[in-house]
A and B are shown apart, each in its own frame.
Chain A
Amino acid sequence: MNAVPPIRREILVDADPDAAFEVFTAGLGQWWPLGEHSVHGRDAAVSFDDGQIIERSAGGQDTLWGTVTRWEPPDVVAFSWHPGYSADRASRVEVTFAAAGSGQTLVTLTHTGWEAFADPAAARAEYDEGWPVVLERYARHSRTPTARA
């Protein structure tokens, strides 16, 4: 059986690696698009909390999205990734921060082992909402790729 190829996305941000790492991790709740990508919707909150990424619903229900596996500020953060899924179906995300000159940082996100996300029917059986809802929303619009060519 073939392992799925990694998904890699890159983006240049206007900050040095220290600040870029800080915003990505400690500032996660300030920028993550909960309205579009979350289990509990836009009224929830998400944060890196004691080595875990946790979404908390408005009603106080916690959902574990993943667990930090590498924490090397300001260069690398890596974590397991299973929003809407149980931890035994986790994929892996690694984010690197490299100084790119002129006060900018090249942020590279690599997502591996994401086979579990190819089976939305299974997720729908586990959860009443979440990724399946997200899938339907996503299907209605297209995105502009940010990969460097």
Chain B
Amino acid sequence: VELRREGPPRVARRAARLPVGRPAVSKHLRVLSDAGLIEHRSAGTRNLYALAPDGMARAQQWLVGTWDTALAAYAAEVKRRKP
């Protein structure tokens, strides 16, 4: 969380400062990106990440929760209908 305020450092730089491997950092960044909490852009071979606009975080969290609730219910309905 502390790192997130520092702007968009490269994955490699970020990984060097965390007690986990670079693949794990990339994986977590992907999850945060899918949730809309951070923005991702590529610059050559670099992957740059930045916090999504500040006031948006709460709405993002809520929308992700909404879709996860809805999609879980949808998957359950698909399963229920399975012959």
Q: Is B35 a contact partner of A145 (Cβ separation < 8 A)?
A: yes
Q: Is A15 a contact partner of B82 (Cβ separation < 8 A)?
A: yes
Q: Is A13 a contact partner of B75 (Cβ separation < 8 A)?
A: yes
A149 contacts partner chain B, Cβ-Cβ < 8 Å: yes
Count of chain B residues near A, Cβ 8 A: 38
Please report the C-alpha to C-alpha distance between residue A14 and residue B76 in the assembled complex, in whole angstroms. Answer: 9
Q: Is A11 a contact partner of B53 (Cβ separation < 8 A)?
A: no
A interface, by DSSP: helix, strand, loop or mixed? Answer: mixed
Please report the C-alpha to C-alpha distance between residue A27 and residue B59 in the assembled complex, in whole angstroms. Answer: 27
- Chain B positions within 8 Å of A, measured between CB atoms, are 27-28, 30-31, 33-36, 38-40, 52-53, 55-56, 58-60, 62-79, 81-82
Question: In angstroms, how far is the closest chain B Cβ from the Cβ of A93?
Answer: 9
Residues on A with beta carbons closer than 8 Å to the beta carbon of B35: 7, 145, 147
Please report the C-alpha to C-alpha distance between residue A142 and residue B22 in the assembled complex, in whole angstroms. Answer: 28
Count of chain A residues near B, Cβ 8 A: 44
Q: Is B77 a contact partner of A9 (Cβ separation < 8 A)?
A: no
* Contact (A5, B59) CB under 8 Å given A19-B81, A24-B74, A146-B71: no
Give the contacts of A32-65 with B (CB-CB under 8 A). Answer: 32-33, 36-37
10 A-B pairs in the complex with CB atoms less than 8 angstroms apart: A4-B36, A4-B56, A4-B60, A7-B64, A9-B71, A14-B78, A23-B77, A33-B69, A33-B70, A139-B62
Q: Name the CB-closest residue of A to B72.
A: A146
Neighbour of B63 across the interface among A7, A14, A107, CB < 8 A: A7
Question: In angstroms, how far is the closest chain B Cβ from the Cβ of A101?
Answer: 16
Residues on B with beta carbons closer than 8 Å to the beta carbon of A102: none
Question: In angstroms, how far is the closest chain A Cβ from the Cβ of B83?
Answer: 10
Please report the C-alpha to C-alpha distance between residue A147 and residue B60 in the assembled complex, in whole angstroms. Answer: 14
Neighbour of B64 across the interface among A27, A119, A143, CB < 8 A: A143
Q: Is A36 a contact partner of B69 (Cβ separation < 8 A)?
A: yes
Q: Name the CB-closest residue of B to A105.
A: B78
Neighbour of A23 across the interface among B31, B33, B39, B81, CB < 8 A: B81
